[in-house]
Amino acid sequence: MKKAFLLLLALSMVGFSLSAQGGYKGKKGKKSDTQGYYAFSLGPSLPLGDYGGDDIFSAKTGGAKTGLHINIANFGYKLMPNIGVAALVTVGANKFDAELLGSDDDDAYWVYGALMVGPLLSFDAGDQISVDFRPVAGLTYVAAPEINEGKNNSTVLVKSDQATGFGFDVGASLRYHATSSLDLGLNLDYFSTKPSFSDSYKESEVTVSVFGITAGLAFRF
């Protein structure tokens, strides 16, 4: 988790530095002279802390492996030159290490999703680069894995469960303005939520925390 925050902080500092060096004044005609953007990106979901732990005797252990993180809708709109609002719709999945329970089930996954809003800090460096920082929070959904005795056996060792709750995402984006309306983007996200399961995982204290590294496209308006 510490490394994830350091990477996000580093990207934010680059944004401040580029903004200062670029001397962007918001003049009309610049490629970066837009108020909003919509971005889509995907990449690896790296489990952090106990979520990726392998101590089966701990209620905090998630046994999650590297998976997929998708920012379905990363939306930002500047109300002032560098300050605005952000919204994020994100989903992801991490495979569960069923071997921890003595199973060879290879279809057990943690699945998560979120709808979040928060402030946006956006800095332009001349015409070509923008750096965004967006701490957002909101509703989350988590589906815990169902673990079978084996991939060819229907005996259920642990039944799946679902939960909604509250979580947050601290994200930073680097956007390169390829055209007057299209960006190429690189995003770093630290996502975390602690689901409260009602059934089979009711004794679980797993905090779903991941570091997402995604790349994709952004459309400016």
Determine which helix (DSSP H) or strand (DSSP E) holds 14, and give its type and residue range: helix 2-22
Any domain includes 147: yes
Residue that is written with structure tokens 């979580």 in the block = 167
Any domain includes 24: no
pTM, rounded to two decimals: 0.84
Number of domains the chain contains = 1
Any domain includes 130: yes
Any domain includes 153: yes
Domain membership of residue 158 as a residue range: 2-17+34-220
| The Cα angle at residue 108 between residues 103 and 110, in degrees rounded to 5 | 135
- Kindly give the confidence (pLDDT) of every residue in the chain, 221 residues in length, as a single tens digit, with 9 standing for 90 and above: 445 445 554 554 554 444 444 443 444 445 555 789 999 999 999 999 999 999 988 888 999 999 999 999 999 999 999 999 999 999 999 999 999 988 888 899 999 999 999 999 999 887 899 999 999 999 999 999 988 887 666 688 888 889 999 999 999 999 999 998 999 999 999 999 999 886 655 567 899 999 999 999 999 99
Residue-by-residue DSSP string for 130-199: EEEEEEEEEEEEEEEPPEEEETTEEEEEE--EEEEEEEEEEEEEEEEE-SSSEEEEEEEEEEEE----SS
Give the CATH number, domain containing residue 199: 2.40.160.20
Residue 108 has what DSSP assignment? -
Any domain includes 127: yes
Any domain includes 43: yes
